Structure 1
């Protein structure tokens, strides 16, 4: 790190003394200033996933993240105001990945509802088991970081999964005899159920197999699916 760091520092000092128009044209190791900033930001995000996901948000300092990223603290504050901002960025990025993974799982088994439910749940819990860091960040620490609650990040994220389940129900049963409000409440309940199962599973150290956890969630989804199907055909 020392040689690159010294070269980078020298380059930044030169950039501070150079008119802005020239700075835009200056390259360092084939990268512009904005590209280097973006690369440093990505390093910090990767380091945050590793440190927060391994040791927990409340046991990690800015210095710890920077050591993992092999960057000095000045570069941390170049991209983030505080630890909570980095954590929020990571949380939202991981939730995006998780939601995309679940949707892929669901659509791979389309159009049969039960295989779609199974595939979606398998995708969700398999991703968490494959990378416990992701599981800890999303389903343990995110629930405890007050900043995410203050900014309604948790609420908005849960809402995204509510809407995903809602869309799935409407896709499978477009003629269902329930109101939008009723289906919305059911979707929220299903999401809450899966979330609580995931939290207990993660905090318990993944003692149950993925198949067992999926079965526990499927039981509720399938029961509701049967109930809705009866209502639709009535």
Structure 2
């Protein structure tokens, strides 16, 4: 009966598939962020301890797995930055600093996430369109946040343009920091990004 219902040792087939997908996502992140390992399906499966059969259970191909990782990181960034801003209260400067601090802390805790989402995804033609969509989404959310704080009297297209400048600038700043091209502490990044946001919408 347990076999027929798909339940094995108290875990359903759906739950087992979800667990395997999670392992493959973590493996894709690890392999993709490692400069000493080729990003291939074979290496991802080896890292996850799963066969290619299970890879295809979750993803059509390697591009799909990498896109899923990119989306997962983007969702995490959006969630933690929004929660941090909400917890900071109504002061625009405090909210900006809290939001950027949450983002930078994510990079400090797991630099792989920043590297694959901001740096590596830009280098892959198959992922570049999705990365561009996400960058524009974050730019729009930046404009919305400024509007909610009544920081900008302009509104509309000008706020959207400012959002693109902010997100693009932060992406370049993080890229340089991850590559070791700038000598900056996490606090330096936070201060620079927060000043940029307040200046653009001031």
In the superposition, the TM-score normalised over structure 2's length comes to: 0.90
Residue 193 (structure 1) aligned with residue 172 (structure 2)? no
* Shift in CA distance, 82/205, structure 1 to aligned 2, threshold 3 Å: farther
Q: Distance in 2 between matches of 1:205 and 1:133?
A: 17
Residue 71 (structure 1) aligned with residue 71 (structure 2)? no
CA deviation digits over 1:180-227, x for unaligned, max 9? Answer: 1111111111111111111111122785210111222233223334xx
> Secondary structure at the residue paired with 2:193?
helix
Q: Distance in 1 between matches of 2:196 and 2:105?
A: 19
> Secondary structure at the residue paired with 1:28?
coil
Q: Structure 2: which 5+ residue stretches go unaligned?
A: none
Which of these residues, 3, 26, 32, is aligned with residue 46 of structure 1?
26
Q: Distance in 1 between matches of 2:26 and 2:4?
A: 27
**Contact 1:24–1:32 under 8 Å retained in 2:** no
> Secondary structure at the residue paired with 2:153?
coil
* Shift in CA distance, 26/215, structure 1 to aligned 2, threshold 3 Å: closer
* Shift in CA distance, 24/191, structure 1 to aligned 2, threshold 3 Å: farther
* Shift in CA distance, 73/190, structure 1 to aligned 2, threshold 3 Å: same
1:169 aligned residue = 146
* Shift in CA distance, 193/25, structure 1 to aligned 2, threshold 3 Å: same
Q: Structure 1: which 5+ residue stretches go unaligned?
A: 1-21, 229-234
Q: Distance in 2 between matches of 1:183 and 1:90?
A: 29
> Secondary structure at the residue paired with 2:121?
helix
Which of these residues, 135, 139, 149, is aligned with residue 118 of structure 2?
139
* Shift in CA distance, 122/26, structure 1 to aligned 2, threshold 3 Å: closer
CA deviation digits over 1:101-153, x for unaligned, max 9? Answer: 1111211212001111111111111111110111111111111111112xx31
Q: Which runs of 4+ in 1 moved over 6 A?
A: none
> Secondary structure at the residue paired with 1:127?
helix
CA deviation digits over 1:138-179, x for unaligned, max 9? Answer: 111111111112xx31122012211211111111117x4314
Q: Distance in 2 between matches of 1:204 and 1:95?
A: 23
Larger radius of gyration: 1
Residue 221 (structure 1) aligned with residue 197 (structure 2)? yes
**Contact 1:48–1:87 under 8 Å retained in 2:** yes
Which of these residues, 32, 35, 52, is aligned with residue 12 of structure 2?
32
In the superposition, the TM-score normalised over structure 1's length comes to: 0.78
Work out the number of aligned pairs and report it. 202
Q: Distance in 1 between matches of 2:200 and 2:66?
A: 36
* Shift in CA distance, 31/188, structure 1 to aligned 2, threshold 3 Å: same
